[in-house]
Structure 1
Amino acid sequence: MAGLKPTGKRPKRRARTSTVADVFRILHTRILTMELPPGHQMSEAEIARDLGVSRQPVRDAVYRLAQLGLLVVRPQSGTHVSTISTAAVERARFLRTAIETETVREAAAKLDAAGLARLSALIDAQQKAVDAGDHAEFHQLDDAFHLEICHAAGRGFSWDRIAEQKAHMDRVRVLTLDVGKARALAEHRTILAALEAGDGALAERSMRAHLAQITALVEVARSTRPDAFGEETPRGHDPSIDKVSAAVSRAT
């Protein structure tokens, strides 16, 4: 067996995966920052030329973005950036609240000194991003803070489900960071204080209040960018979330 020669297939596969990831990251960032605004028509050929790649990784990246609800793919009319759906934002808020109020309560009982130090470092980095007016950096650090709490609770896998549903919420957050990031940072500090005190009930209440702010931010975003909103049903929408939300609403 030691004499077998490498085929070279595995390195090629890794390179292609990396290219798809790079194309996805670039397009994802451009959509979130509104460089590619809602309604913008996407041409796979133009994207491939712009990024200097073949059309296949672009096609794969477009598929992933459609699954996240950021692109709408229609055979007859082509591919375009989706409008922001307030219904999709509400679904994401519901899902995040259901998951993250539980994970933050569990994290309060499990966090050690090292975990608290990581969260504190993220808060410090967020403050620097606020001071520098760096919206993109703050957005990434915001997600990192919530992800770290999921990991601290031993529920890191739950962030994958959140990430699948929060694309529309993310665009509202980006549109309102001018007015929202300082408040978000203050709320993160409140959550961290509850975690440092080991107070699961307070951490849960603080997280619930923090996530509820998206409702007010939607109205802020709609007042400044009404053209960015619509009620399309993107390819990546999971109707099961609607059923769960409706069932909970009827029960309350």
Structure 2
Amino acid sequence: MKKVVKYPTETAREYALRAITENIVSLDLAPGTAISENEIGGFLGVSRTPVRESIQELHKAAIIEIYPQKGSFVSLINSRYVEEAVFLRRVLDVAVIEEACDMATEEDIKQIEENVALQEFYLQNSAPDKLMNLDDEFHKMIYTAAKKDTIYNMSKIMMIHFDRVRALAVQTVKDTKIIKDHRMMIDAIKAKDKETAKQLVIKHLDRYRVDQEELMKVHPEYYDTKVKSLTP
């Protein structure tokens, strides 16, 4: 588990939830890993209570499994939950990028372009953690440009199912297509071309299916093989 810096304004519970979530998404707490309230609390410097509450919240979202008499474990990657998360993301992202085409300012676009330039740098320099963070920031910036920050934040827990696949892909597959997609999305927003922007979002999110097939071969131990995909 990697150390996560506590923000000055965070409560112990908010910090514990964010730290555990970030470690699950980054796969530092890999699928199937046992979760110890005492160990995590000691590592983060908080009591067991905020850790327990965070585990319960992640359990409700099927990110952590709790087994009586056995303990708590990071859930294996469930293909159906991933597909549902992608479905939600597609619905939201398509609507949001349309809004961004109308509302993005020159400053918004400048910041997004700077983000993509950094993505290109870290892709070439093999820094998957930084690349994943920049990818998250890229999409959040589009929500911010569309004045939809709250929606982005509210969807984060459900997105963990998809984010783990994204993180695994970044660590396993060096794919320049993702950054090319981002460049084309910026161009569509600048041109206020809503239809092209929508199609780019759909194409971008559909790439996960190809990645996931490859990832299941490389890391079969991370996947719940009892669950079948809903897509052909």
TM score, norm. by length of structure 2: 0.86
Q: Does the residue aligned with 1:69 lie in a helix, a strand or coil? A: coil
Output the CA distance in 2 between the equivalents of 1:201 and 1:123: 22
Is the CA contact (8 Å cut-off) linking 1:101 and 1:204 kept in structure 2? yes
Whichever residue aligns with residue 199 of structure 1, its letter is D
- C-alpha RMSD of the superposition: 2.4
Is the CA contact (8 Å cut-off) linking 1:43 and 1:79 kept in structure 2? yes
Which residue number corresponds to residue 239 of structure 1? none
Which residue number corresponds to residue 20 of structure 2? 27
Output the CA distance in 2 between the equivalents of 1:168 and 1:105: 25
Distance change in 2, residues 1:16/1:158 (3 Å): closer
Which residue number corresponds to residue 66 of structure 1? 59
Pick aligned residue for 2:166 from 173, 178, 196: 173
Number of aligned residue pairs: 222
Asked if residue 192 in structure 1 is aligned to residue 173 in structure 2, the reply is no
Whichever residue aligns with residue 80 of structure 1, its letter is F
Is the CA contact (8 Å cut-off) linking 2:31 and 2:74 kept in structure 1? yes
Asked if residue 45 in structure 1 is aligned to residue 28 in structure 2, the reply is no
Is the CA contact (8 Å cut-off) linking 2:25 and 2:167 kept in structure 1? yes
Q: CA deviation at 1:231?
A: 6.5
Structure 2: unaligned runs, 5 residues or longer: 1-6
Asked if residue 211 in structure 1 is aligned to residue 205 in structure 2, the reply is yes
Alignment of 1:67-82 (within 5 A): 67-82=60-75
Which residue number corresponds to residue 109 of structure 2? 116
Which residue number corresponds to residue 149 of structure 1? 142
Is the CA contact (8 Å cut-off) linking 1:38 and 1:82 kept in structure 2? yes
What percent identity do the matched residue pairs reach?
26
Asked if residue 129 in structure 1 is aligned to residue 94 in structure 2, the reply is no
Is the CA contact (8 Å cut-off) linking 2:123 and 2:174 kept in structure 1? no
Q: CA deviation at 1:232?
A: 8.3
Asked if residue 229 in structure 1 is aligned to residue 216 in structure 2, the reply is no
Distance change in 2, residues 1:202/1:16 (3 Å): closer
Q: Does the residue aligned with 1:123 lie in a helix, a strand or coil? A: helix
Pick aligned residue for 1:138 from 131, 135, 142: 131
Output the CA distance in 1 between the equivalents of 2:174 and 2:162: 13
Q: CA deviation at 1:17?
A: 4.6
TM score, norm. by length of structure 1: 0.79
Q: CA deviation at 1:127?
A: 1.6
Output the CA distance in 1 between the equivalents of 2:226 and 2:14: 26
Q: CA deviation at 1:16?
A: 9.7
Larger radius of gyration: 1
Q: Does the residue aligned with 1:166 lie in a helix, a strand or coil? A: helix
Pick aligned residue for 2:97 from 98, 104, 114: 104
Q: Which moved more, 1:173-182 or 1:89-98?
A: 173-182
Structure 1: unaligned runs, 5 residues or longer: 1-13, 234-245
Output the CA distance in 2 between the equivalents of 1:180 and 1:68: 30
Deviations, residues 95-145 of structure 1 (Å, cap 9, x unaligned): 111111111112112212111111111111212221221111111111111
Q: CA deviation at 1:50?
A: 3.2
Is the CA contact (8 Å cut-off) linking 1:69 and 1:167 kept in structure 2? no
Distance change in 2, residues 1:16/1:54 (3 Å): farther
